[in-house]
Structure 1
Amino acid sequence: MTTSGERLQKVIAKSGITSRRKAEKLIEDGRVKVNKKKVTELGTKVTGNDVIEVDGVPIEREAPKYFLLYKPRGVISSVSDEKGRKVVTDLISEEIEERLYPVGRLDYDTSGILILTNDGDFTQKLIHPKYELDKVYVAKVDGLLSKEEVLQLKKGVVHEGERLKAVKSRMLSADKSKKKCIVELTLHQGKNRQVRRMFEALGYRIDKLKRERFGPITLEGMNPGQYRELNPHEVKLLLEESQQNVK
């Protein structure tokens, strides 16, 4: 250990095994050793020469990787599923050896943009509500919302005792003959099934839901099931945008 280097909790998070917040808890609980010595002090600095163990298992310091996936419907946003259903990491080539996991989640029946990484610190900066990163969804709705109802999605609705709201909401199109409409929502919250629950609170059902933008990143030029590695500039843009509105 040294007075220079990186903070221990950040190194643990970068290894991909957990988030920085959970890494801090592991340290405080005495579950982390550096060079065979238990460390419980947050902010301890380590270098690449130090051997770090969590619960007696040395961590692997993988190089950070960042991928963009166009998640299709019918795929679980996880690295495993007890029911044997297809998960997002099944769509990634076996040639990629890093232990990737999704940044946040998209519902089983929701398609769209999903980022995968092995960088826990990066993940925390993208999904925590305090960073207020825009997540833009487009919903094809069974029914015609009124102008007041579209506005209500921004003001907030209550579903099962929980208040849910969008940062922005707007009607993109409406088909009066088929009684269908398309609504765009921008969220900062990331609650379970949030968009679907918001429409349920107003008495509507979503036929299709897609996340079209995550911060500055879009799915331009991609088809469902495709993925690509984010370039350094895109990673930088994501981090910069996540820091703009930190409270």
Structure 2
Amino acid sequence: MNSKRGRIDRFLASRLQIPSRQAQQLIRQGEVLLNGAAVTQVNIIINEFTRIECQGQLLQALAPAYWMLHKPAGVVSATSDAEQQTVMSLLPEIAQTQQLHIAGRLDKYTTGLLLLTNDSRWSEAIAQPSASKRKHYRVTLQNPLTDDYVSAFRDGFYFEFENITTAPAELTIVSDYIADVVLTEGKYHQIKRMFGRFRNPVVALHRYQIGQIVLDDNLALGEARELRADEIASVVI
């Protein structure tokens, strides 16, 4: 059982492979410690960061972890893949023991800011469409840009397959072939599909900011670092 949130008795029954009644008895007898303190209530709610001990056996002791990675092209945003290199292989050894998952994936050939954590509430907050979770991209295109792109992105695009209209997006023309795009959502290959309406292929796509978290200029491609406290706190759960 993944104990992200749930009752302590159910966690014990699953973790120790014992009947629920036996798990509840262990709790009532004071044999279970949560964060170092004995508990006797069977319905206490725990999460993935609750330290859990039972009869001297440590069952769970996971600390919150938050990382940023400068993702290179050609690496898949996945925790495991039988055939392709994943972003997890680029992380330091300590990060690979922290049960991380990806908070906002990038496709294989997109570069830039990738966030990883073991805090499910934090990653869910990042995934919510919100002006405070705006995602910033630098886009290089095959054909020149015109002012028509700005208004079209602001108005949104109807995607027939999903029967949705994209939320207003902010496009700023940097040069003839380069634009900055800011999204508040993340539909499947959204940026490439939006430029596809102009029959203008995306040559390169790079994410450099999510909310207030900006890709560290000191990170080379493939390098990672832990997030600072202010970066973690900028994501309001």
**TM-score, normalised on structure 2?**
0.74
Long gaps (5+) in structure 2: 14-19, 22-42
Counting only pairs closer than 5 Å after superposition, residues 4-83 of structure 1 correspond to structure 2 as 12-13=3-4, 33-36=10-13, 37=20, 45-46=45-46, 48=50, 60-82=60-82
Q: Secondary structure at the match of 2:108?
A: coil
Partner of 2:220: 223
**In the TM superposition, what whole-angstrom CA distance separates every residue of 1:112-152 from its partner, at most 9, and x where no partner exists?**
00001111111111112257511001100111222122220
Partner of 1:88: 87
Give 1:216's aligned amino acid.
Q
Q: Which residue of 162, 165, 168 maps to 1:163?
A: 165
Determine the C-alpha separation between the residues in 2 that align with 1:76 and 1:63.
26
**Matched-pair contact (CA < 8 Å) for 1:71–1:225:** yes
1:137 is aligned to 2:134: no
Coordinate RMSD, CA, aligned: 2.8
Counting only pairs closer than 5 Å after superposition, residues 148-187 of structure 1 correspond to structure 2 as 148-161=148-161, 162-174=164-176, 181-187=177-183
Partner of 1:190: 186
Give 1:62's aligned amino acid.
L
Give 1:195's aligned amino acid.
I
TM-aligned CA deviation for residue 75 of structure 1? 0.7
Could you list the structure 1 runs, at least 4 aligned residues long, displaced by more than 6 angstroms after superposition.
none
**Matched-pair contact (CA < 8 Å) for 2:65–2:98:** yes
Counting only pairs closer than 5 Å after superposition, residues 107-118 of structure 1 correspond to structure 2 as 107-118=107-118
Long gaps (5+) in structure 1: 1-10, 14-22, 53-57, 175-180
Q: Secondary structure at the match of 2:10?
A: strand
Partner of 2:197: 201
Q: Which residue of 207, 211, 216 maps to 2:207?
A: 211
**In the TM superposition, what whole-angstrom CA distance separates every residue of 1:37-63 from its partner, at most 9, and x where no partner exists?**
39xxxx9534947679xxxxx973410
Assess, with a 3 A threshold, how the Cα gap between structure 1 residues 213 and 49 changes in structure 2: closer, same or farther: closer
TM-aligned CA deviation for residue 34 of structure 1? 4.1
Assess, with a 3 A threshold, how the Cα gap between structure 1 residues 160 and 92 changes in structure 2: closer, same or farther: same
**Greater Cα offset, 65-74 or 127-136:** 127-136
Q: Secondary structure at the match of 2:75?
A: coil
Indicate the structure (1 or 2) with the bigger Cα radius of gyration: 2
TM-aligned CA deviation for residue 170 of structure 1? 1.1
Q: Percent identical across equivalent pairs? A: 26
Q: How many residues align?
A: 200
**TM-score, normalised on structure 1?**
0.71
**Matched-pair contact (CA < 8 Å) for 1:112–1:212:** yes
Determine the C-alpha separation between the residues in 2 that align with 1:111 and 1:102.
14
Give 2:129's aligned amino acid.
P
Assess, with a 3 A threshold, how the Cα gap between structure 1 residues 166 and 224 changes in structure 2: closer, same or farther: farther
